A and B are shown apart, each in its own frame.
Chain A
Amino acid sequence: QSALTQPASVSGSPGQSITISCTGTSSDVGTHNYVSWYQQHPGKGPKLIILDVRNRPSGVSNRFSGSKSGNTASLTISGLQAEDEADYFCGSYTASSSYVFGTGTKVTVL
């Protein structure tokens, strides 16, 4: 199962909004709403920030939002802050019921 495709890096200035795409196929992202997004700071374990395409777990800032169109899911970070600098991964089930991650996006706050 191939990884989902994400841009290698995205950058923005504090206060700006950025969007990270996660492109899959009709056999994974496009077939259901079990798409999640994870944030990972260096040396730390991942943190779930979006579940079921667009829902935020308790305690996650409302600056993070998710959406999906066809085979592409997206994560938008609004009001970019220095603490948002991290790696971001999307995750999705596949038609064969395995779970696959995106290639990862490094977010840099300029």
Chain B
Amino acid sequence: EVQLVESGGGLVQPGRSLRLSCTASGFTFGDHAMSWFRQAPGKGLEWVGFIRNEFYGGTAEYAASVKGRFIMSRLDSKSIAYLQMNSLKTEDTALYYCVRGGGVHKRYSGSYPNWYDRWGQGALVTVSS
């Protein structure tokens, strides 16, 4: 059974950093891009970005709202994806989901998942003084 378990959430002050982890099981982690989404309380879903698997270069793409502040990485030997969040703002307060990417299509900047098919339960990040 595919499982994605996020950890590392919590309360953090504006301007500080936090790192989320996503531990995967039940599938070949290295075959998939891994993505992060977030959902602010009572709001809709927002794509944060994704990291390609090594076959497609292992590079990441980010939403404009987090580019330059958030960094995605992965450790395929342990099936873990990371989201390093720096210079946090109050508007980053949200439930953060780790999500597996599926399918591949090519765009100008590289390969992208066609869809996002398995979601974790989320990790709550609260940015407040």
Chain A: residues with CB nearer than 8 A to chain B? 1, 3, 34, 36, 38, 44-48, 51-52, 57, 89, 91, 93, 97-104
Contacts and interface: CB of A to CB of B under 8 A. Distances in A.
25 contacts: A3-B44, A36-B115, A36-B116, A45-B121, A45-B122, A46-B97, A47-B119, A48-B115, A48-B116, A48-B117, A51-B102, A51-B103, A51-B114, A52-B114, A57-B117, A91-B47, A91-B116, A93-B107, A97-B107, A97-B108, A98-B63, A98-B64, A99-B47, A100-B47, A103-B44
Contacts of A3: 44
Interface of B: 44-47, 61, 63-64, 97, 102-103, 105, 107-109, 112, 114-122
From B44, B61, B97, name the one whose CB has the most chain A CB atoms within 10 angstroms: B44
- Shortest beta-carbon contacts, A-B, top 5: A99-B47, A51-B115, A45-B119, A101-B45, A48-B117
Nearest to A33: B114
A52 B103 contact: yes
A94 B75 CA distance: 29
A103 B45 CA distance: 8
A46 B39 CA distance: 11
Nearest to A97: B107
B120 A45 contact: yes
Contacts of A57: 117
A89 B47 contact: no
